[in-house]
Amino acid sequence: MKRLMKMLAILTILAGLFLREPPVLAEDHSLPASMKSNLATEIDQRAAIVESKVIAWRRDIHQNPELGNREVRTAKLVADHLRSLGLEVQTGVAHTGVVGLLRGEKPGPVVALRADMDALPVAEEVNIPFASKVKSTYNGQEVGVMHACGHDTHTAILMGVAEILSGLKPQLQGSVKFIFQPAEEGPPTGEEGGAALMIKQGVLENPKPDAIFGLHVTSSIETGKIAYRSGPLLASGDMLHLGVRGQQTHGAAPWRGIDPIVVASQIVLGLQTIESRQVDVTKEPSIITIGSIHGGVRFNIIPDSVEMDGTIRTYDEEMRSDIHQRIKTTAEMIAKSAGASAEVKIDKMYSVTINHAGLTEQAVPTLIKAAGGENANVGPKLTASEDFSEYQKKIPGFFFFIGVTPKGTDVSKAASNHSPRFFVDESGLLLGVRSLAHLTVDYMAMKETKPLP
């Protein structure tokens, strides 16, 4: 009997060892890496949990859009959330910008993540329950206001990423700087703003990020897909103003004056020869577009002057400077040949968005992991512009696109960004959250083993 009792006791002990609850590894940060939960899996689990919050934030921001340098309500929403997560928060950067700093408990690099917060002067035409009814003043005019470019989704996505990564603070091999930026679409006339002002006010200092990541939603890609590209991705965007001065006269006697309308017409055609005959089209594409021409008040009066406005898009800084000089020479010489004069003014607004080659190479496997190999692909160059390029001038940066057009939809017929009918499939936001979170932790892990070239 004693022997039997002894055996039963031993069996009881063994059963207890096999049947007891396993330890919660995530709470024991002293355990070896081999025994810890998979960080990638934990990110995806946390992302799934926060998805409903991201959608709710997006709808709230969408219904309450604010123009550049006026994102007061949005900034408060962001700042309150970051503070609730225990982050170090700075507000009022570049007027309404918010910066949150999450310091991981392990040493490592500083990763910056950027989202833009401003809306556009567009009256919404999308039939959704949370459509914007907001009106505001833009350059002296009353306008409708809408998140027609998707910045509401960018802000909500980054708020979700901040929640995920703050929950992983004990496991983070470095720190994360969350940059919520105003006025990406450009500040109001007469004001500074956007990425340039944030940098000027020290957003890339104390601590200085080793790399920066950003994303943009687009209707030109199906939900669940990602597009990326190494090197030039988005064009520079410059504003061109041309003033042509002639000499007013009667329309029946043009020889008694100098016709600036004819001169302006010749300049418009002459500018196109820069693209077709003067620059090396095999190096990079470029665009010169005249979007508005104003001159004259009556059918039989040749006016004194004509004013023209347009845009210049390039993918190479050297070509950019060269084209600017050619525009000036072409306009001035054509005008001079007719006895008129031309004044050329070019405002540099956005630089070329250039993805760092080494950072892109490191990021691609992460994007494939997040979206699936068949859903993460090299995309084309786009002639749109982004002030994310300002950060890339200072530190290595990587910018990519995620699709928000419902699967099965012909993306060529989907309303484009900046349209009053721009529609976001909110099921695509989860991929944005997961992508940025994975890019952050993967970069941190790789920084020590594979530094950027």
CATH number, domain containing residue 427: 3.40.630.10
- Among the candidates 350, 380, 405, a domain finishes at 350
* 61 lies in the same domain as 201: yes
pTM of the predicted model, to two decimals? Answer: 0.88
Return the pLDDT at 447. Answer: 78
Beta carbons within 8 Å of 337's beta carbon, 6+ residues apart: none
List pLDDT tens digits, range 254-295: 999 999 999 999 999 999 999 999 999 999 999 999 999 999
Taking 80 as the threshold, does the pLDDT of residue 29 lie above it?
no
DSSP alpha helices (H): ranges in 345-428?
357-371, 389-394
Active site (annotated) includes residue 426? yes
Strands 236-245 and 106-116, bridge-based pairing: unpaired
User: Is 18 part of a structural domain of the chain?
Assistant: no
* 316 lies in the same domain as 431: no
- Among the candidates 350, 380, 411, a domain finishes at 350
User: Is 113 part of a structural domain of the chain?
Assistant: yes
* 200 lies in the same domain as 82: yes
CA distances 202 to 198, 394, 414, Å, are 6, 12, 39
Residues in the chain: 453
Of the given ranges (10-24, 163-177, 235-249, 415-429), which has the lowest mean pLDDT? Answer: 10-24
373: confidence class by pLDDT, cuts 50, 70, 90: confident
Q: What is the mean pLDDT of residues 75-91?
A: 98
* 286 lies in the same domain as 386: no
Give the range of the structural domain holding residue 89, as residue numbers without chain letter: 37-233+352-447
Taking 50 as the threshold, does the pLDDT of residue 203 lie above it?
yes
Return the pLDDT at 264. Answer: 98
For the chain, what is the domain count?
2
Contact 329, 271 (CB under 8 A): no
Question: Choosing from 350, 386, 390, 443, which is the catalytic residue?
Answer: 350
* 99 lies in the same domain as 229: yes
- Among the candidates 350, 384, 417, a domain finishes at 350
Question: Choosing from 184, 391, 426, 443, which is the catalytic residue?
Answer: 426
Three-state SS for 154?
A: helix
Helices (H) and strands (E) counted in the chain, each on its own, are 10, 18
Question: d(Cα 253, Cα 338) in Å, to the nearest integer?
Answer: 16
Active site (annotated) includes residue 391? no
Return the pLDDT at 14. Answer: 34
Return the pLDDT at 19. Answer: 32
User: Is 19 part of a structural domain of the chain?
Assistant: no
Q: What is the mean pLDDT of residues 291-305?
A: 98
Return the pLDDT at 299. Answer: 97
Taking 60 as the threshold, does the pLDDT of residue 222 lie above it?
yes
443: confidence class by pLDDT, cuts 50, 70, 90: very high
Taking 70 as the threshold, does the pLDDT of residue 231 lie above it?
yes
